[in-house]
């Protein structure tokens, strides 16, 4: 069995997020506790021209999954206190930006493409966030019978 724990995995960003949020304080914390809190926030995904050929056929999808690096987060807490919560929760049961591997994912609505630039809505990332990958959001990603764990009594992710 390979010793996966020793493996250092390196990624080269494929692009960068352009967002109206330049620092975390620009984001009204109440947005984070509303499911549609960012749906009106528009921005752009600027893809490295060297990767732009990979955008072929993307225009047919209404929504995209953007996987990115939380490049401004603090490193690796295992217990975090979500906004508007009094108790600390295991980081893997949260969407906290402060996690052992600072990887984030956001589903955005694709508004249009101009060359290597994708115009999107639903941005909850900061300006300059490095993009690691983009995948189409499909009906397979929408699950039935969802249980919300500790969030069930919280306003988060309703």
Ligand X SMILES: C[S@@+](CC[C@H](N)C(=O)[O-])C[C@H]1O[C@@H](n2cnc3c(N)ncnc32)[C@H](O)[C@@H]1O
Q: How far is the CB of 34 from ligand X (least distance, A)?
A: 12
Binding site for ligand X (CB under 6 A): 24, 27, 32, 70-73, 95, 97, 104-106, 124-126, 129
Instruction: Check if the beta carbon of residue 148 is closer than 8 Å to that of residue 27.
Output: no
Tokens of 13: 């960003």
Which CB sits closer to ligand X, 15 or 97?
Answer: 97
Q: How far is the CB of 65 from ligand X (least distance, A)?
A: 10
Report the DSSP beta bridge partners of residue 43: 120
User: DSSP readout, 94-124?
Assistant: S--S-SSS-EEEEEEEEEEEETTEEEEE---
Which CB sits closer to ligand X, 59 or 105?
Answer: 105
Residues 116 and 51: their CA atoms lie apart, in Å, by: 8
Q: How far is the CB of 114 from ligand X (least distance, A)?
A: 24
Q: How far is the CB of 20 from ligand X (least distance, A)?
A: 12
Would the CA dihedral through 96, 18, 20, 31 be positive or negative?
negative
Which CB sits closer to ligand X, 55 or 125?
Answer: 125
Which CB sits closer to ligand X, 59 or 107?
Answer: 107
3-state SS, residue 46: strand
């Amino acid at each position: 069995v390979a010793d996966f724990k020793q493996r250092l995995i390196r990624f080269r960003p494929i692009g960068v997020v352009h967002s109206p949020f330049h620092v975390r304080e620009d984001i009204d914390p109440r947005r984070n506790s509303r499911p549609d809190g960012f749906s009106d926030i528009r921005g752009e995904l600027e893809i490295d021209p060297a990767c732009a050929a990979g955008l072929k056929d993307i225009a047919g999808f209404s929504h995209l999954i953007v996987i990115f690096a939380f490049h401004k987060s603090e490193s690796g807490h295992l217990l975090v206190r979500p906004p508007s919560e009094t108790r600390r929760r295991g980081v893997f049961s949260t969407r906290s930006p402060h996690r052992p591997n600072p990887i984030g994912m956001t589903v955005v609505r694709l508004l249009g493409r101009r060359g290597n630039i994708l115009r999107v809505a639903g941005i909850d990332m900061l300006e300059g966030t490095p993009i690691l990958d983009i995948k189409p959001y499909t009906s397979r990603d929408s699950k039935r019978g969802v249980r919300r764990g500790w969030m069930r009594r919280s306003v988060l992710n309703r």
